[in-house]
Amino acid sequence: MVLGAGAGELVATFAAPASSPFAVVGGALIDLAPAWAKDTAIAWFGTSDKAALLVGIAVVLLVVAAVAGLAEARWRHSGVVALAALGIGAGLLGLTRPDAGMLAWLPSVLAGAVAAFALRMLLRREADAGPEAEDQPSRRAFLTWTIGTAAIGVAMAVVGGLGRAGSTVVTTVREALKLPKPATPAPAIPASASLDVPGITPVITPNADFYRIDTALVVPSVDPSSWKLRIHGMVAQEVTLTWDELLALPLVESAATLSCVSNEVGGDLIGNAVWLGYPIRELLKRAAPDADADMVLSTSVDGFTAGTPLEALTDDRAALLAIGMNGQPLPLEHGFPVRMVVPGLYGYVSATKWVTDLEVTRFDRDRAYWTDRGWSEKGPIKLESRIDVPRAGRTVTAGDSVIAGVAWQPGTGVSGVEVQVDDGDWQQAELATAISDDTWVQWRLPWRAKTGEHSIRCRAVAGDGTVQTDTIAAPAPDGASGWHTISVSVG
């Protein structure tokens, strides 16, 4: 089975990169899994949820291989037929994927065929070995053959994965791409936006550290030269935009904080970046949406969909069709060549990566990927704050110290942060200068730490005076809430 899976992964690199056996099976599992299963995976594994899924698939395949081997030993051809059928089934499944190509069936079918052949050959080798002791040459040859086929399979899978990750034409195109200068640059980030506190979250999240939550097991590889965006549906005029046309438009640069709705209170599924793109409202203005439309259903090249309130894409916020992130072309895993960035909304209703289609419609007519799975329709980001310093569970040296972190409510902004130590009074923290109302802001509070165990909590005050709620809510269905509270030991 290992040999078959490795062969399938290697062939996928050259024939159908998005249709490797692991990607096909994993993608189907992601689509079929109930909302609670996805929430649990993200809560347990965070941004490593895809790696955990792939490991789980590998374990299940090993179990299937063992069962097939036992069946083949007892009932001739049963295991071989089962593995071949499994490959054919996965191949047919590959053809149903949104980004399936003409050869989407090939990697899985080949994997099943190779696995069936390897099983048949292994059993023949075992029969040749006979019941003699393990130190007999024939027995050693059988074990060598078994280990060798597994090693070859692992090697092919690794080579296939590396090939898809680093040697695609799209990677080369991206690395050579020079972003156009924005017609409207973002204001310079003031030095006062960053507080001098070791361990605090940086104001701008480096691209390599920006959280990634999406449904793509294999990062889509989209050639900019073939990329197109279609705007249609409840509009007076359908609009089609090519990559070259997008680059020729007067681009805008804007900083914005994005957050995943699965982010727990105090979690790190949030990041802040400077984005380069074109205002979506200007494209929608060309299309002229119908008066009774209230939603835009965006679709990714991999079939993911998000339903964004039309108002959020036509008001004065910096909702962008983005091509750049922190002065670089979008990383492949963050949507290259084009994605959506909409301040004030959780990513599941707004931040479609690898976007290719915008359909103007209504919430009562269409549903998106996550709303179909029980999440709320509109997804405004809740007012939240987080303690970065000191770290929960760490020991702090008694004496002069500091409590610090970040707070956010994109679209509204933060006007204050308050901190409470144990059951004492709420104290007003010092705020750094916010880049804008669309970004998070750093905060700090001097603290004379006394020996013992302490509980520290924080709450933010929004720009409109709203105080962050202490009501505890889980991420589903519309985002977590509550005060971030940590325990620290001072010695």
Task: Specify the residue for token string 């005029």.
Answer: 237
Residue-wise pLDDT tens digits, 277-314: 999 999 999 999 999 999 999 999 999 999 999 999 99
Q: Say how far apart CA 385 and CA 88 lie, in whole Å.
A: 50
- Kindly report the backbone phi and psi dihedral angles of residue 376, in degrees, each rounded to the nearest multiple of 5, phi listed first: -65, 160
Q: Give, for 54, the enclosing helix (H) or strand (E).
A: helix 49-74
199-234, pLDDT tens digit by residue?
Answer: 999 999 999 999 999 988 888 889 999 999 999 999
Percent of the chain with pLDDT over 90: 62
What mean pLDDT comes out for the span 113-131?
64
Compute the Cα dihedral for 357, 361, 365, 369 and give only its sign.
positive
d(C-alpha 443, C-alpha 428), whole Å: 10
CA–chain centroid gap for 232, Å, is 27
Q: Which of 34, 120, 50 is nearest to 84 (CA)?
A: 120
The per-residue pLDDT for range 93-106, each reduced to its tens digit, is 778 777 677 777 77
What would the DSSP string read from start to end of 380-398? BPPPEEEEEESPTT-EE-S
Tokens coding 35: 């909302």
Strand pairing partners for 458? 419, 484
Tell me which H or E stretch contains 340.
strand 339-341
pLDDT digits (tens, 9 = 90+) for 43-80: 677 667 767 776 777 777 667 767 776 776 678 778 77
Q: Please name which of 208, 201, 183 lies closest in space to residue 267, comparing C-alpha atoms.
A: 201
**Could you give all domains of the chain from N- to C-terminal order, each with its CATH number?**
2-167 (no CATH), 191-373 (3.90.420.10), 384-490 (2.60.40.650)
